[in-house]
Amino acid sequence: MNAPANIETRQLLNGNHAVAWGVRLAKPDVTPVYPITPQTPILEKLIEFQSEGKFAAELLTPESEHSAMAACIAASATGARVFTATSSQGLLLMHELLHFAAGARAPIVMFNVNRTPASPWGFWPDQIDSLSQRDTGWVQLYSESPQDSLDTVIQAFRIAEGSMLPVMINHDAFYVSHSVEPVSVPAPGLIDEFLPRVERPMQLDTGAGQSLGAPIGQASWNRTRREMAAAMETVPGLTEAAASGWRAMTGRGGGVLEAYRMTGAEVVVLTMGSMAGTARDAVDRLRDEGIAAGLLKLRLFRPFPADELRAALAGVPCTIVLDRNYSPGMGGVLHQEAKAALYGTVGAPRMHGLLAGVGGVNVDVATIARLVRDYRNADPSPDAVWVE
């Protein structure tokens, strides 16, 4: 389902280079960025584009991710379009400023490569770095593949500038960041049309003596969070609109939640990131065996698309959540969120939360198929289960 060749070109790209291509097409004004494995190829590719005269953004290379995000927020406050990228420790170092960016309503787009946080040191795909930032006020999207990452980073600017909320897109370390596949790269003119410049309501402008972020009273602070809540409510719609615009242009991509072989499904795998690609093959294998399996790939994690999930799982008897992350003392984060979204709804499915692939452990097609066979008729447990 690729668009005609005159609109897109096909290139062999890894996930990170696909992101860099998306960013080049989105034309940010400012890009403060700090290197960290396995995000660095994004930075390197952007600098390569710049040295070729193909990427005009002001590139800032500060001493830390903390300063990179501080520069992002300040640049965004002047009305500039801003991009940055990070991973794991870098994202965690930014934590203070993630809250700040969302509170300042800065529509920054950031790419995060999901990687295990220390200690101990590891460089493996695991989503707890970004999932532990879920309460900071950032929109979070998860990508499955290099193509998905390119498509999503461009759509993310539409979502950010439409909601005045910062958007973080995530893909798994190495499984996506360094895996090479043929990627369709849209022509620049297409993206200029898809991403028009948006006039901002609140900017740091020399013409106006108004300040940003100055101390306020309790009631006013409270109101900022209500305004963020209202903005968050617009995000699923903005995500769907961006996705359908993208589909009309390129023929590719899903919205908030991607359904695969859900017709008549009696057991549904719910997951996100690269695991979704493996689960798709597992669903095919199970269907071949006569098991009515389906897949829901959660693309938008924050705001959590509770309504869409309830609708997608209506009448489904059993759901198996695969979490490549672990929140110590509670379990998988997607499992927690899905349970919370479905609790109290009539006819909610039995749900199993499986901790599969924590720390980047490989979860192959055969493993997912076996887990579905094992758990589809098992009694549900409210707690997460470690599985091999």
Partner 1 sequence: MNEVKKIDYADDGQFCSGHVACAGCAEALAMRVILNSVGQNAVGVVSPSCSAVILGGHPLSSARIPFLHGTLESAAASASGIKRALRAQGKDDTTVLCFAGDGGTYDIGLQALSSAAERNEDILYVCFDNEGYMNTGGQKSSSTPSGAVTGSTPLGKATQKKNLIEILAAHRIPYIATVSPSHLNDMAAKMDKAKAIRGTKVIIVLIPCLPGWGVADHAAVSTARLAVESGVFPLLEIEDGLRTRMHPEHKIRPIDAYLAQQKRYRHLSEADRAALQAEVDANWARLSAQAAL
Residue ranges that bind partner 1, judged by CB under 8 A? 29-30, 32, 56-58, 60-64, 66-68, 70-80, 82, 96-97, 100, 204-206, 208-217, 220
| CB contact at 8 A, 85 and 42 | yes
Nearer to partner 1, 215 or 344 (CB): 215
Which are the contacts of 125, defined by CB distance < 8 A and separation ≥ 6? 114, 115, 116, 172, 173, 174, 175, 176, 273, 274, 324, 357, 360
Q: How far is the CB of 58 from partner 1 (least distance, A)?
A: 4
| CB contact at 8 A, 202 and 212 | yes
Nearer to partner 1, 108 or 270 (CB): 108
Which are the contacts of 187, defined by CB distance < 8 A and separation ≥ 6? 6, 7, 8, 9
Kindly report whether the peptide bond that precedes residue 38 is cis, defined as omega within 30 degrees of 0: yes
Nearer to partner 1, 9 or 210 (CB): 210
DSSP assignment of 288-344 equals: HTT--EEEEEE-EEES--HHHHHHHTTT--EEEEEES--BTTTB-HHHHHHHHHHTT
For 142, list phi and psi in degrees, rounded to 5: -120, 135
Nearer to partner 1, 101 or 185 (CB): 101
Nearer to partner 1, 188 or 213 (CB): 213
Q: How far is the CB of 199 from partner 1 (least distance, A)?
A: 13
Q: How far is the CB of 215 from partner 1 (least distance, A)?
A: 4
Nearer to partner 1, 66 or 370 (CB): 66
Q: How far is the CB of 34 from partner 1 (least distance, A)?
A: 10
Collapse the DSSP code of 39 into the 3-class scheme (helix H, G, I; strand E, B; otherwise coil) and give the result: coil
Q: How far is the CB of 49 from partner 1 (least distance, A)?
A: 16
Sign of CA dihedral 202, 228, 130, 93: positive
Nearer to partner 1, 209 or 315 (CB): 209
Q: How far is the CB of 81 from partner 1 (least distance, A)?
A: 9
Collapse the DSSP code of 170 into the 3-class scheme (helix H, G, I; strand E, B; otherwise coil) and give the result: strand
User: Which amino acid belongs to residue 266?
Assistant: E
Nearer to partner 1, 105 or 297 (CB): 105
Q: How far is the CB of 193 from partner 1 (least distance, A)?
A: 21
Which are the contacts of 168, defined by CB distance < 8 A and separation ≥ 6? 110, 111, 112, 130, 133, 138, 139, 140, 141
Which are the contacts of 157, defined by CB distance < 8 A and separation ≥ 6? 26, 81, 107, 109, 167, 195
Q: How far is the CB of 111 from partner 1 (least distance, A)?
A: 18
